[in-house]
Amino acid sequence: MHSPKNRLSEIVQDANSALPEYPEPTSGDRPSSSLEERNHVAAALAGNSGRVFGRDLDLPSSLARIARRREQALRAPKNTLKAWRHDWQVFVDFVEQHSAPFRPIDWPRGAWVPIPAPPELVAAFIDFYSPPSDDQLELGVSLYKADEVRAAATVRRYLATIGKAHRIHGLEDPTKDELVRDCAKAFFRGRGEQDQAAPIHWEDVAAFADLNWSDVDRFLASTNDEVTADQVRTALRGEKQLRRAQALLLVAYNSMARREELVALNLEDVEFNKDGDGNATIRKSKTDQAGEGQVRYLSMHAVTAIREWLRVAGITTGPLFAQFQRNGQVRLKDPAAKRVRKGELPALLDHGKRMSENEVNRTFKAAMRLIGKPSAEVAKVSGHSTRVGAAQDLRDSGMTLVELMNSGGWKDAKMPARYSRKQGAKRSGMAKMMKMKQHDQDGQ
């Protein structure tokens, strides 16, 4: 008796052998190889040079319109482009390596391609990353599942990328098809929201800002946790790095800037006011790709920390949060400046190299370790944590959602409302009513 796995394999092999070979394309036809298709879509999404589909692809839009859509897409933030490249590669790999068992037996191989992707293929893609159902386990179909079930937020991003690729080419978006929508609903049902970054509140920022290097030394000498010690040593190797970390955390909290916005700050973007506080201008952000700029507030605490960091680092121009060399000194000159030829505007490189976005994450985690946060909470700390914590603190202080959006540069209320949903519950109609009842009861 055949096992479910062997029986299913035989069915797939019989179906494949019965299908006619898809004819080789002639010049001008759309490429048959998924590699060529992948290269073309990568060019559309990531700006790589590559051939475009021939005119026989039956596109509803002209190639000129596709080129305009592609140019517009490439204006997306760097991290968005990086996510598109990664997500498209995941989809192409699925089609090339794992999609055969999902293909209807009456479909030719040439119709089972990443773009234009039929809705049945996208639905199979979702199914591949879904946990197997009881029926699938019984049939052995679970053998054709990914090794790891993807998070709901990850699958949403995959689908958004697939849809974007098709829209750039003027093709119908398969993710809008009823079949794909039903599969997506089944996948997302009961899976909840993506885990939120652990918040860093003002009390946390203030506690870290008060530390001296002797406090760091005492912490490292007293801890028995090597993982914790390595995390702190990696991010904070001396007094100068501690000063940079303190200024970074204060600026991040006050400005509610994203990590890519923090590392992009130049000294020229910071303004110190006569009364001791200041402003930071975010030149370009995720929600401001036109580069109109947003001015964010800096408290006296942040200004004081910035001044101290500039003093010990010797920074007079260029990146506000410069990178460190291996010897522990601040990199005040970009090595590339030495290689600039005559007439190539060396002044553009005559400054330090910026700290990386990953360094922001490591610095925030080390800071929370030093003030005694538990490991489980530190594990959820990211470059977004100050943004989340500041949003919650603002709501707790009685600020409206509109004031919160203005402080953090949001154009949509969805994310700030999500960050502060617990604080919003405290201000709900039910909360107000119960407090009134408690007040009346206490007055009797």
What is the torsional sign of CA 413, 416, 420, 426? negative
- As a whole number of angstroms, the distance between CA 240 and CA 65 comes to 52
Q: Compute the average pLDDT of residues 115-119.
A: 86
Written as one string, the DSSP assignment of 265-325 is -BGGGEEE-TTS-EEEEE-SBTTBTT---EEEEE-HHHHHHHHHHHHHHT--SSBSSBPBP
Greater confidence (109 vs 388) lies with: 388
Label residue 44 by pLDDT band (50, 70, 90): very low
Label residue 231 by pLDDT band (50, 70, 90): confident
| pLDDT (0 to 100) of residue 217 | 92
Label residue 202 by pLDDT band (50, 70, 90): very high
Q: Compute the average pLDDT of residues 152-167.
A: 88
Mean pLDDT lowest among 30-39, 94-103, 278-287: 30-39
pTM for this predicted structure: 0.58
Q: Which CATH architecture has domain 202-335+345-425?
A: Orthogonal Bundle (1.10)
- As a whole number of angstroms, the distance between CA 101 and CA 11 comes to 9
Which residues are paired to 280 by β-bridges?
270, 296
pLDDT at 42 over 50: no
Contact between 114 and 98 under an 8 Å Cβ cutoff? The reply is no
The alpha-helical segments, DSSP class H, found in 371-444 are 375-378, 385-396, 401-408, 414-419, 421-426, 429-443
The CATH H-level superfamily of 4-188 is Tyrosine recombinase, N-terminal domain (1.10.150.130)
- As a whole number of angstroms, the distance between CA 382 and CA 386 comes to 8
| pLDDT (0 to 100) of residue 41 | 47
198, amino acid identity: A
Q: Compute the average pLDDT of residues 80-86.
A: 84
* Strands of 278-282's sheet in order across: 270-272, 278-282, 294-298
The helix (run of H) or strand (run of E) holding residue 221 is: helix 213-222
| pLDDT (0 to 100) of residue 64 | 61
Mean pLDDT lowest among 77-81, 144-148, 318-322: 144-148
pLDDT at 326 over 70: yes
What residue ranges do the domains of the chain occupy?
4-188, 202-335+345-425
The helix (run of H) or strand (run of E) holding residue 209 is: helix 202-209
- Furthest-apart CA atoms within the chain: distance in Å: 90
pLDDT digits (tens, 9 = 90+) for 46-79: 333 333 333 233 344 455 666 666 767 666 777 7
Tell me the helix, strand and coil percentages in the chain, rounded to 5. Answer: 60, 5, 35
Q: Which residues lie below 8 Å from residue 255, measured CB to CB, with a gap of 6+? A: 261, 262, 280, 282, 296, 297, 298
Q: Report the mean per-residue pLDDT for the chain.
A: 74
Q: Which residues lie below 8 Å from residue 93, measured CB to CB, with a gap of 6+? A: none
Q: How many CB atoms lie within 10 A of CB 172?
A: 14
Q: Compute the average pLDDT of residues 328-334.
A: 73
Percent of the chain with pLDDT over 90: 26
Q: Which two tokens stand for residue 439?
A: 């007040």
Mean pLDDT lowest among 13-22, 258-267, 273-282: 13-22
Greater confidence (442 vs 93) lies with: 93
Mean pLDDT lowest among 27-31, 159-163, 350-354: 27-31
Tell me phi and psi for residue 270, to 5 degrees: -105, 135
Label residue 368 by pLDDT band (50, 70, 90): very high
Contact between 125 and 180 under an 8 Å Cβ cutoff? The reply is no
Contact between 212 and 199 under an 8 Å Cβ cutoff? The reply is no
| pLDDT (0 to 100) of residue 65 | 64
Label residue 444 by pLDDT band (50, 70, 90): low
